Structure 1
Amino acid sequence: MLRTVAGDMPGTNALGSFLKARRALVRPEDAGLPAIGRRRVAGLRRDELATLAGVSLAYLTRLEQGRDRNPSEQVLDALGAALRLDADLTAHLHALARDASRPNGGPPRRPREQPAPGAGDLLDAWAGIPAYLRGRRFDVLAANAAAIALAPMYRPGRNLVRDVFLDPGARALFPRWDAVAAGSVAALRAVAGADLDDPALRELVEELSAASDDFRRLWERHDVRPTRNETKEFAHPVAGRLVLRRHSLAVGGTDGQVVIAYQADPGTPSAAALAGLTAPDHAAAIHVAEPRPPASHGPAASFAR
């Protein structure tokens, strides 16, 4: 039986869950409050947050319980400052409040994703650059041979978050797995926003919450961080250590599809290793040797095939 993360599923109070989760992460001393004696709750008490944000305790209680769903922009900004939210988390807070105020309780259900027209041809044209097309639920919708040579989890039909947490090979592939895992969950939160009535997203969150303590812990933090261009390290079983620059390119005309591409700095050992790994003969051999698996909600296969 799959375990549901309380407060995150359709028909529940996503705004209140967010406020309570973030309140639990703020230490009183960080907010300028004295930490005296034994505290019964982690982080800030509700009355402390109300005081810091300049709202009444009764009003904050109604927000957290979902009995008031129309906070003003000023109240949201005050809560964000009191909770020490960064720009991404503050924007997420505002998005949750906008969704909570909708008469129907949330956005419409989304259809099954299809790759943007021509995306596969574009990726294949980047023969020496590992690149794949990611959907809003973090499914891989298309990929070139170089991406599959870099990691089987970049094969079409895989789900990136599922593989990060359920594929033992992913832990070996990423030397900084903890950071990759935390970033994956925060990026999924950023993309999902308040759109947690999407059945496919709901099933993914429930599955991973039941199967992975790490995922459940990170999801319950309500961290939010969109995917950005940054450096990522791989420990490839054939090419060895690779330090690559990740580029995230939004695809116009789609509902959140993104092209992810990797490059190495010219003249570095990583550039030489990547060139060997993505050479047409080598990448094509890997592509043929590992047929595309069917899309599945079950645990991913290991990197070590």
Structure 2
Amino acid sequence: MGTPLGDFVRAKRDSIQPEALGLPERGRRRSPGLRRLDLAARAGISVEYLTRIEQGRDRNPSVAVVNALADALSLAPAERNHLRYLAKITGGECTAHKRPAPPRREVRPSVLCTLRLLEPGIAVVTNRLGDILAHTSGYETLTSGTGLLDGDAPNLTRYVFTDPRARAYFVDWDAVADEQAFDLWLGPSIENAEWFTAELAPEAGPDFTRRLNRHVVPQRGVLRLNHPAGPELRLVRELLDVPGDAQQLIVFLPVDDATAEALAALADHPRGRLRVV
């Protein structure tokens, strides 16, 4: 007996012609649409597993598998949401029925004191989900005009994947996107990481979901930024873990004299004070 999830995947597969996805025509076949072999290859799963999903013999696909199928089928946003809803009512675990406890947002007083000592330098405290928890005035200057710190609970991961301004701000956007996706595996807890991933995937789309299971350790080389005020900035990052809190302190340092001079010019504008978000 089939399931709503399996029926939907099979119907979408039958409605897609291989050439629409840039796949070669493999000759005549008994049923229309995309072959299981091709869909499975695009989604990164086995044909046998795809068959179990379509036939309703697997009712608990993971978040990663559902997102991969959505990408492989090139679903529109509304179709992606429908696929996730069908996975939920079929019995899958694509979204938590109850949101887990949020990760710790309080920053220890000793860490805040460290930030104050770093003024007017550029430093920020985050967790692995990308929540920006506290930052120096120098970090606010570095990100001014980009939209990153807009709102009451800024999040770098969400900004990178959903705000068009991020692609202009980060010169090497693909490398930064790889870093943020990889860091979710190191999140405050697996429950929070899975919940955040499930929430973000429909909005962020394939640029986000295709990175989740690559497990490629990012190089974290020189960070190049196009500041809205004009200069291109080149920075190195020192990452210091905050033990016990699943947080990290990141300090940004200029790579060259041109960047140092540009940062000094930006800092001439009026600055705020250390901010805890």
Q: TM-score range by the shorter chain?
A: 0.5 to 0.7
Give the whole-Å Cα distance in 2 for the aligned partners of 1:164 and 1:45: 25
Equivalent pair of 2:222/2:236 in contact (CA under 8 Å): yes
Q: Is 2:169 aligned against 1:177?
A: no
Equivalence for 2:158: 162
Is 2:228 aligned against 1:216? no
Partner secondary structure for residue 224 of structure 1:
coil
Alignment of 1:9-158 (within 5 A): 40=35, 41-42=38-39, 44=41, 65=58, 109-113=100-104, 114-152=106-144, 153=148, 157-158=153-154
Which of 268, 272, 276 is 1:287 aligned to?
272
In structure 1, distance between residues paired with 2:244 and 2:188: 19
**What SS does the corresponding residue of 2:205 show, helix, strand or coil?**
helix
Structure 2 unaligned regions, length at least 5: 6-23, 28-33, 61-98
Q: Residue by residue, what CA displacement relative to the aligned partner does 1:175-201 show, whole Å, maximum 9, x if unpaired?
A: 22233233322322x223981x33x86
Indicate how the Cα distance of structure 1 residues 249 and 239 shifts in structure 2: closer, same or farther if over 3 A, else same.
farther
**Structure 2 equivalent of residue 246 of structure 1:** 237
* 2:259 matched residue in structure 1: 270
Conserved? CA contact 2:137–2:275, under 8 Å: no
**Percent sequence identity over matched residues?**
26
Cα RMSD, aligned residues only: 4.3
Query: Letter of the aligned partner of 1:160 in structure 2?
Result: L
SS in structure 2 of the partner of residue 230 of structure 1:
coil
Distance 1:277 1:65 in 2: 56
- Counterparts of 1:181 and 1:110 in 2: how far apart (Å)? 26
* Other structure's SS at 1:270 match: helix
Q: TM-score, normalised by structure 2?
A: 0.56
> Which of 207, 227, 230 is residue 236 of structure 1 equivalent to?
227
Structure 1 Cα separation of the partners of residues 233 and 205 of structure 2:
29
* 3-state SS of 2:139 partner: helix
CA offsets per residue over residues 115-153 of structure 1, 9 Å max, x none? 133222211211243110002321111100000100142
Provide TM-score, normalisation by structure 1.
0.51
Distance 1:226 1:178, change over 3 A: closer
Q: State the AA in 2 paired with 1:235.
A: N
Q: Is the 8 A contact 2:143 2:149 kept in 1?
A: yes
One of 180, 187, 192 as aligned partner of 1:192: 187
